[in-house]
Amino acid sequence: MISTQTIQELLSDNGIEIAPGGHNHSRSGWVQIDCPWCGPESKRYHLGFNIRGNFFNCWKCGHHFLMETLVELTHLEPRDLSGFVRELKRNSLFLDDYEAKPRTGLKLPSPLTELSRPHTRYLLARGFDPRQIQDVWGVKGVGPVPMHLAWRLFIPFYYREEMVSWTTRSLQSDGLRYKSASPDEEAVNHRELLYAEDFCRHNAIIIHEGPTDVWRTGPGAVAILGMKPTKAQVGKMSKYPVRVVCFDNTKDAQHQAQILCDDLMAFPGDTFRVKLETGKDVAEADEKEVQVLRRYLI
């Protein structure tokens, strides 16, 4: 039973050639080989193994199951590969990559208020309708206390129509934009959730970095609170047939967007990366460009 090898060692020991560095199908974080179904011994290296996620995907014929692919490549019996596959799955894309901490139940900052003049002024300056933000997305205001959250927007996280966590958004352009619930203030880890997923249908999602982008795009958009999703979040995204990644148009954000797209392309369905032209993010983009983005949800 094979259980301690790396994928490179397993392939090499079984005479399977790996794409040399610099090949046009070779990407960082992937091991490229010939696909046994659409290009055996072609030296085109269409089949890739994602080292972070431990899954196979072919440039031409798409996703292939792990055990089935390893059996086809190595001609070993499944029982001989079971330990190796079990180890891969133990460290797969769907395991959490953040420190697990016990959750003790939802606790909200107190007091929370209706949106006051500072909150309304901030939203209007960014082109949002404060009443809609409050009524549709459940956003409230934080006043001068508690001090560490003073004068922020309170943004709830819902899961199956139940509030389970929250974050807050600063009204200032500098400093820490988002401050979220600590483990002892939430019922579900917000990093296991896609913000606003309760508003999504089952056919498509548009993936943003932050809640303000979701508000601008509308129902069907989700946010991951940052540029690097957790494995739990990627698992949720993978269930949608159409996934559209629309991060900020900065170099770093687009690099992370491409990494996410590479991970999602391994799953059945279609994945797209959209780079905005009229604004740094969706909240600042021209309405015509946002309308084009929304078409992915139809």
Q: What are the extents of the domains in the chain?
A: 7-90, 112-190, 197-297
Residue 95 has pLDDT above 50, yes or no: no
Predicted confidence band of residue 209 (pLDDT cuts 50, 70, 90):
very high
Predicted confidence band of residue 98 (pLDDT cuts 50, 70, 90):
very low
**In terms of DSSP H, where are the helices of the chain?**
7-13, 66-74, 78-90, 117-125, 130-137, 211-217, 231-237, 251-264, 287-294
CATH number of 112-190: 3.90.980.10
Question: Which residues are CB-neighbours of 18 under 8 A, at least 6 positions away?
Answer: 8, 11, 12, 31, 32, 33, 45
Instruction: Spell out the CATH class of 7-90.
Output: alpha beta
Residue 46 has pLDDT above 80, yes or no: yes
Distance CA 239, CA 268 (A): 8
CATH number of 197-297: 3.40.1360.10
58-67 pLDDT, tens digit each: 877 777 778 8
Question: Which residues are CB-neighbours of 130 under 8 A, at least 6 positions away?
Answer: 115, 119, 120, 123, 124
Predicted confidence band of residue 167 (pLDDT cuts 50, 70, 90):
very high
Give the distance, in angstroms, between the CA of residue 30 and the centroid of all CA atoms in the same chain: 19
Q: Identify whether the C-beta of residue 73 lies closer than 8 Å to the C-beta of residue 102.
A: no
Percent above pLDDT 90 for the chain: 63
pLDDT of residue 274: 97
